[in-house]
Amino acid sequence: MPWTYENPPAVAENWTEEEQRRCVDAANAVIEETGDDEQAIFACIRAAGKEGGKMKNKKTFRGPLEWKADADTTGQFTAAFATLGVVDHDGDVTVKGAFEEGQEAVIEPWNHNYGAPPVGKGVIRVDGDKALVDGKFFLETPAGLEHYRVVKALGDMQEWSYTYSIEEQSFGKFEEREVRFLRKLDVWGIAPVQRGAGIDTFTVGLKGAKAALASHSTATSDVGWDGPANGARVRSGENEAYYRRIFAWMDPEGDPTVKATYRFIHHEVSGDGAPGAANVRACTSAIGVLNGGRGGTTIPDADRQGVWNHLARHLRDAEVEPPELKAAGLSARDGEGEPDGETGDGKPSGLRPSTVRVRAEVDLVELGS
C-alpha cells in the first residue's frame, strides 16, 4: 500500500516530519519497484537514519557468469557486487569512495548462511563505477568446492549479495528524487544467493572464460546506429572491463587491452570514448549476423548462444522481443545453405569478389570499424 506524509508507516508515527517524509518517499519507491511491504519498511527505516550503530545491512544483485582459464584448480574469481553512482532498488546511491580499496572480505556460504563456515575469501577494489571482489573459493573444503560447482552451473542465473554496516551516510536529492547517499561502508561478507534486485552488476570471471561476454542490463537507445563511427571512438589500450561495456564477444587468445580483440559492438560510444547505452538497432543487426545475415559471423558456433543472450537481454530491457537464434550453419534466408565465404576457420577463402565484400560487411558489424 502507498503511504502519505499524513499517514506514514506505523514505525514512523513518532518521528519528526523530516524523518517521516524521507521514510514515506523511500518506502513508496520500493513498493512501486518490488511490491514487497517488508522491504519497503526496511527502506523507510534506512532513509530516516533509524538503523543505529553498526547494524548489518544487505544488498543483493543479479549478474551473469563467465569463466577464465584454470578455475577448476584455483577457484579464483572476480565479481562486480555493487554499481556506484546509481539509485538502487532500496533508494540508495553508493558514492565513489564508499568501499575501501584492498579491504579483505569473507566469501559467505549460500544465502549468507551464518551458521556455516566461510567458503572463500577475497579483496575489494573499485574499477570505474563497479565495486569488485577478487576472490577464491576454498576448493580444498567440501563446502567451498560445492559452492564453486553451483556458481559455475548456474551461469547467467547467478546472483550476488553483500552484507555491510554504514560508517557514513547523508540524505539529499539525486536525479530529482530523495535518496540516501552511502559514503563509507564496512563490508562484512559477500555471498552467492538465489535471488537479488540490484543495478547492473555481474560476475566478471571465475578463471576459465567463454569468449561470449556476460550479459548485463544498461540504459538502451533506439536512435540511428553507425557502427563504424562508434567503433572509431572506442579507445585503445584500455582494460578488459572497459571493452566489456561496449562489445559482446572477445577473442580468448587476443590481448584484452586491444580493441581488435573484441567483436559485436552494440553500445553507443561518446566523443571521448565513454561507453553509453546499448543501441536497439545495433543489437538487432548483430543478431541478424549471428543468423547468417551479410554472410554470417566468424566467431565459433559454440559462442553464438552466449552472444545472443547478451544482445537479447538488452533488447528485452528495451521492451523489444529479440529475434530467435537460428541453428548454426543456417543463413538468414531460412536455412538456405552455408553463409557465403565462411570456411572452417571462419575466414574468406578465394571466393568471388561479392563474397569478400560480404565478409568485409560482417567485419564492419562485428568490429564497428
User: Residue 189 belongs to what H/E stretch?
Assistant: strand 177-193
Instruction: Tell me: pLDDT of 324 over 90.
Output: yes
Q: Which three cell numbers, joined as nine digits, stand for 333?
A: 534466408
CB contact set of 56 (below 8 Å; sequence gap of 6+): 163, 164, 165, 188
Q: Which three cell numbers, joined as nine digits, stand for 14?
A: 513518532
pLDDT by residue (tens digit) across 176-186?
A: 877 889 999 99
Report whether 49 contacts 19 (CB < 8 A). yes
Please give the pLDDT value at position 50.
Answer: 66
Candidates 250, 156, 242; CA nearest to 203 is 156
Residue 351 identity: L
Report whether 267 contacts 279 (CB < 8 A). yes
Q: What is the mean pLDDT of the chain?
A: 78
Residue 320 identity: V
pLDDT by residue (tens digit) across 266-288?
A: 999 999 999 999 999 999 999 99
For the CA atoms of 98, 246, 77, 61, the dihedral, rounded to the nearest 10 degrees, stands at: 50
pLDDT band at 38 (very low <50, low <70, confident <90, very high): low
Please give the pLDDT value at position 22.
Answer: 87
CA distance 305 to 285: 15
DSSP state of 100: P
Candidates 152, 153, 164; CA nearest to 82 is 164
The bridge status of strand 275-279 relative to strand 220-221 is parallel
Question: SS3 sequence, 192-232?
Answer: EECCCCCCCCCEEEECCCCCECCCCCCCEECCCCCHHHHHH
Least confident among 69-83, 126-140, 224-238: 69-83
End-to-end CA distance of the chain: 52
Task: Give the highest mean pLDDT range of 109-123, 314-328, 340-354.
Answer: 314-328
Q: Which three cell numbers, joined as nine digits, stand for 313?
A: 537481454
Instruction: Tell me: pLDDT of 115 over 80.
Output: no
Average pLDDT value for residue range 288-302: 86
CA distance 304 to 204: 19
Name the residue with cell 534466408. 333
Task: State the sign of the Cα–Cα–Cα–Cα dihedral 346, 349, 355, 359.
Answer: positive
Average pLDDT value for residue range 67-86: 77
